[in-house]
Each structure stands twice: as C-alpha cells, then as structure tokens.
Amino acid sequence: MPIRLTAAAVSDIGPHRTSNQDAAFTASWGAAVADGVGGGPSGDLASAALVHRLVPSPLRATDAEDLLVRIREANWDLRAHVQRDPSLQGMATTFTGLFLSAAGNLLLAHTGDSRAYLLRHAQLERQTRDDSYVQALVDSGLLAPEAAASHPRRNIITASLGGGEEDVISVAERAPIIGDRWLLCSDGVSDYLDDEEIGLALLRHRTVEESAAALVSLALQYGSRDNVTAVVCDIAEGPAGAEDAVFAGSARELFHESLDITA
C-alpha cells in the first residue's frame, strides 16, 4: 500500500529573539526541522542553507545510506559558505527529518536537540535522543530526567551539522502505520511543553495545520524564550507526489536564490 505524508509547519520568531534561526519544510515525500546552533554566527543561514541544499527538488532516498549521503552533501555546502566568508566560521545547525524511502518505509534523520515524537493509537513516544550535555548527564545517572528541562545548561548540544567531516548524524528506519501522527520540533517547543501537553495537543486537533499552530501557540503561552517551530505529519494512504517543498522559518525568509547553494 503506497503512503504519503500530510504535513504542515508553523514557525514563530518568538517575542525574545531578533531573528528566526529555525528552518522547516514539508512535502508529501518528507518533512524536517533545523535549528541554528545558539552562540554561533548566522544560525539562520546555517539552518536555511542546509534545508534548501537538501531538498531543492523532491527527495526520495532509496535507503538509509542514500539519505546519509545526501545529508552529507548538504553539510558540505555549509563548509563552502564558510570558505567564502570566514566570518561564518562556527555556524551550525541541528536537523531532524522524516523521509519516505523507495521501499515505502520512513527514514528518520537526526542530530542535535530538535526532536521527533510519534503519536500512535493515542500514545506518544519520543523517537530521538537529544545530542546534548544535559542528556549525557541523564544517561550517566548524574541528573534526574525530570530536572533536565530546567537545567541551566540544557541548550548545550554535543552534535550538529556545521560542514565538518567529523559531523555525525543518524538515520533510522521506521515502519509506518496509516493514522500515525509525527511531530518534528525545535527546542523552543520541547523545552517548554512536557510529553503530556504535546500528546494532548496532537490528539485534540483534527488537521496537521491546527495541531502545529496549537503547539506553537501553547509554547509561546508557556513563555518560550526561543524561536518556536512545529512540523506535524500524518501518515496517509496514497502515493507521494513530486511537488516542491513548502518552506517555513528562516528557510522561507532566506530564499534559495540568495543562498548560493550551487557551490
């Protein structure tokens, strides 16, 4: 049975930031969110350039290895930006994406602390592990999981994409079920909403557009001090199309014509 994604992205700069460093895209064949790494230069350029370089046309990866190759190629483009403009040295971005494989499975790509959640049969389960200092403390037993959300160093990440050969990203295969609902989000959502609040927002709203908007609105109501981006994807029956991606956040504000993605 062929499957497709029905997806929508909502991104808000938030009241405490002067630029939106979150980038996102949606299509029937894939969706993703990227978040420029805080503390580095041009996070908005890093996230937008990576997304635009990765999906200038429909991306239908044959398998996990094929997707890894394509992400590495997009990552090399970040290095090209730095080579042209040394003031960009250190720019980097997280990335969490969901793509349809040629075999009809889902490929989940992840690095950094943007997250993926799966709502299946009204049960929410987180599908990614944060590449972060705080997550390492939790994993080692030095920090209780419930204390992670308020830890003062929760925004320090241990993996990202910045054009380096040593950059690490994982790709895992997931079996889709019609009716599954996925959430991909930046930490402007996940740092301020717990799993119960996220699950309820995904359950209460029928359409992906309503769900994404509700999550962003709720995170802002809870005082998010970051850019806030939510991408909601439903697994639906039917073949994926070949349409171009729809962009949000910095990927919409910084159009690919101005990003010089041909390097």
* pLDDT tens by residue, 74-93: 999 999 999 999 999 999 99
Quote the pTM value.
Answer: 0.93
Rounded to whole angstroms, the Cα distance separating 190 from 216 reads: 10
Residue 137 lies in a domain: no
User: Which residue, 11, 3, 73, 5, is CA-closest to 247?
Assistant: 11
- As for how many domains the chain has, the answer is 1
Torsion of CA 173, 127, 183, 180, to 10 degrees: 60
Rounded to whole angstroms, the Cα distance separating 223 from 215 reads: 13
Torsion of CA 27, 31, 35, 36, to 10 degrees: -60
The CATH number of the domain holding residue 46 is 3.60.40.10
Residue 35 lies in a domain: yes
Q: Identify the three-state secondary structure at position 97.
A: strand
Domain hosting 38: range is 3-129+160-258
Residue 56 lies in a domain: yes
Q: 120-176: per-residue pLDDT in tens? A: 999 999 999 998 777 777 677 767 776 666 676 667 888 999 999 999 999 999 999
